[in-house]
Amino acid sequence: MRPAESVVDGSKAPGDAKQAEPRAEPKDLPAVDRLLREPEVAALLHEHGHTLVAGEARALLEARRGEAVAGRLAASEVAPAALVRALRQAVAHRLAPNLRAVINLTGTVIHTNLGRALLADAAMQHLLAMMAGPNNLEYDLAGGGRGDRDSIVEELLTTLTGAEAATVVNNNAAAVLLTIAALAREKEVIVSRGELVEIGGAFRMPDVMAAAGAKLVEVGTTNRTHPHDYERAIGERTALLMKVHTSNYAIQGFTSAVDEAELARIAHAKGLPLATDLGSGSLVDLAAHGLPREPTPQEKLAAGCDVVTFSGDKLLGGPQAGLIVGSKAAIARIRKFPLKRALRMSKLPLAALEATLRLYLRPERLARDLPTLRLLTRQASDIRTLATQLLPEVASAVAPRFAVEVVDLLGQIGSGSLPVEQLPSAGLALSPLGGKKGAGRALDELATALRGLPLPVIGRIADDRLLLDLRCLEDARAFTAQLPALASALGAAGVATKGLAESPRQA
């Protein structure tokens, strides 16, 4: 068994051998035209045209010339076959997308950095069908005149939430901004100090208020806010009372908050509207699926909220979108506000959103058809069974450098939903063999090799192990098919890691 340290040291050997190879001079390199006339380049030119291939050939030869001037270019690299191979790789690299599919083995289901909610098959199919040609995005097929894109999802949203009216924008941050601007511009909005949230990406409630042109009036304290705090703060300039669901933290201990029902009474007694930002907001009762409860827009509307905002790509399991549901009067003001046009949804997510919402009309099928709910409701025992099945193949791919075992894990829902709740899960733990010294480096190398696979695999490092939580692994074959590539990346140690970083990205 080779300890990790010696493997990394061993990687120096091929580099040293290279030093002995004869060097190429700048004059040994062909001109761009000559490289383009190589018979094997004809196929590349035929497929991609002159502009791209010639551009890459120029850049390649320039880089090689620099290396030659520095005395770092091996003679073998100026051979036509080597240059053609490098050119083919450069063209492939240029055409490979930056946005790529990955395998999420972090254990966080709605992972903000990994694209949040996965779209349902129905949503992808509808999206594809609608984008393939013209559609009635803003055309009234019954009357033959101009239509409104909101009408594509409004009735679905009112049916599902019990709201009188609904509208949609690009994301929930936009929904909150638009709601405040439309209902309280140049006026005051009262919010509890315990609810002045910051979510990722510089979205802070006080800043959003300012951007919307409203004045924030904070009431209560961080841990306790009472009805009379709101009542006392209401004045001539008050336009809106607002509650914000503290989706990414929990205040525990000596706490008190005013719920929507009570706040609605206070607001309505003064003729003011009440808005609630739910952040995630689930359209179904998650407790019925054995998951921790999360507030629903339905119950907030029933409690008397005039506007409820929530995300399309968190627990809802759809595309990025900001959903605004509420009373006819409030939604009409929001829809008429000029900012709405700037924040309106494009036809792509709108098509996906409609198909996603339609899945909710069949709640009994939801845990099957909606990937977010399907992954969240996967039983830890089933995930453990999968881990046990994959163990031998993974173990042999990473042997002899890492030991692999099946472990119980705790995952997360993610995207700020239910931050203190954890999902019992299972997976594989990969531990470096060969002693504590160099273990951190070996783990980093393993994580890099996993990320360097054609379908990058993202796990997490904790307690000197690399953990692969299998909750989100539905296509196990896509993962196991890459194990030979992982084995060879690890087998070649430092050299392989370097090679991976430099080799073209694969689509």
Amino acid at 196: L
Q: How far apart are CA 78 and CA 202, in angstroms?
A: 50
Residue closer to ligand PLP by CB (options 309, 497) is: 309
Told to check if 87 binds ligand PLP by CB under 6 A, we report no
The alpha-helical segments, DSSP class H, found in 70-150 are 80-95, 121-131
Options 157-165, 167-175, 406-414, 450-458: segment touching ligand PLP (CB under 6 A): 167-175
Cβ 173 to ligand PLP, closest distance in Å? 4
Considering the complex, state which of residue 404 and residue 413 has its C-beta at the smaller distance from ligand PLP.
413
Give least dist CB 172 to ligand PLP, A: 3
Strands 307-311 and 274-279: parallel
CA–CA separation, 470 and 153 (whole Å)? 34
Closest C-alpha to 73, from 29, 10, 117 = 29
Give the binding range for ligand PLP (CB under 6 A) out of 166-174, 266-274, 386-394, 469-477.
166-174
Q: Does 165 bind ligand PLP (CB under 6 A)?
A: no
Residue with tokens 């939604």: 331
CB of residue 322 vs ligand PLP: minimum separation in angstroms?
6
* Closest of 117, 122, 126, 152 to residue 137, by C-alpha: 152
Using Cβ positions, the residue closest to ligand PLP within the complex turns out to be 279
171 binds ligand PLP (CB under 6 A): yes
By rule CB under 6 A, what count of residues binds ligand PLP? 16
468: three-class secondary structure by DSSP:
strand
Segment interacting with ligand PLP, rule: CB under 6 A, options 25-33, 47-55, 170-178, 222-230? 170-178
Provide the mask over 306-345, with x wherever binding to ligand PLP is found by CB under 6 A and - wherever it is not. Answer: -----x----------x-----------------------
Residues between 39 and 78 that touch ligand PLP (CB under 6 A)? none
Q: What tokens does 253 get?
A: 């201990």
Interface map 272-291 toward ligand PLP (x if CB under 6 A): -----x-xx-----------
Q: Which helix (H) or strand (E) holds 310?
A: strand 307-311
Residue 305 near ligand PLP by CB under 6 A: no
How far apart, in whole angstroms, are the C-alpha atoms of residue 335 and residue 330? Answer: 9
What is the separation of C-alpha 224 from the centre of its chain, rounded to a whole number of angstroms? 34
All residues at 6 or more sequence positions from 189 whose CB lies less than 8 Å from its CB, including other chains: 180, 209, 214, 215, 216, 217, 238, 239, 240, 241, 242
Closest CA to 181 of 310, 343, 334: 334
Report the alpha-carbon distance of residue 63 to residue 68 in Å, rounded.
9
* Residue nearer to ligand PLP on the CB measure, 176 or 182: 176
Q: Least Å distance between CB 350 and ligand PLP? A: 15
> Residue 206 Cβ, how far from ligand PLP at the closest point, in Å?
13
Which CB atom, from 56 or from 195, has the smaller least distance to ligand PLP? 195
Mapping DSSP to helix (H, G, I), strand (E, B) and coil, where does residue 7 land? helix
Looking at residues 173 to 232 of the shown chain, list those that interact with ligand PLP (rule: CB under 6 A).
Answer: 173, 176, 197, 199, 203
Q: Which residues bind ligand PLP (CB under 6 A)?
A: 171-173, 176, 197, 199, 203, 244-245, 247, 277, 279-280, 311, 322, 416
